Structure 1
């Protein structure tokens, strides 16, 4: 999957100066544009899914999602820092 993103010009890899076994991944300008587009679509989808909720229901949902995030952070702490 990463190779496809790299081939498509969405990301590039850079070796770590301290450890040559490690590569850091960065978004290219095209990758940043794609990310912004996907984020916008995602926000629109969430808006559509939650527009029928009243304020109390929305607050309950946000609280539950916060609890899920806390649980996931305990299970996979390093991965959640990057999200």
Structure 2
């Protein structure tokens, strides 16, 4: 398998190895993939929970666009 990285990503990997946190690039990539998997599963779980709330909750008078805007405002503060 070949993976192309940007210069910035290569520098980051080198810095992490030099810091002693990882022994080599493969170790860092495996760790990053584990974290990505955890993150992805959490996002999917949270989305499913929100969908369930929607199906089980009361009907809303808001449009889909209004709901999306409201969520964006919550996220962005």
TM-score normalised by structure 2 residue count = 0.41
The structure with higher relative contact order (CA 8 Å, sep 6+) is 1
Higher CA-based Rg: 2
Which structure has the highest strand share of the two?
1
TM-score normalised by structure 1 residue count = 0.39
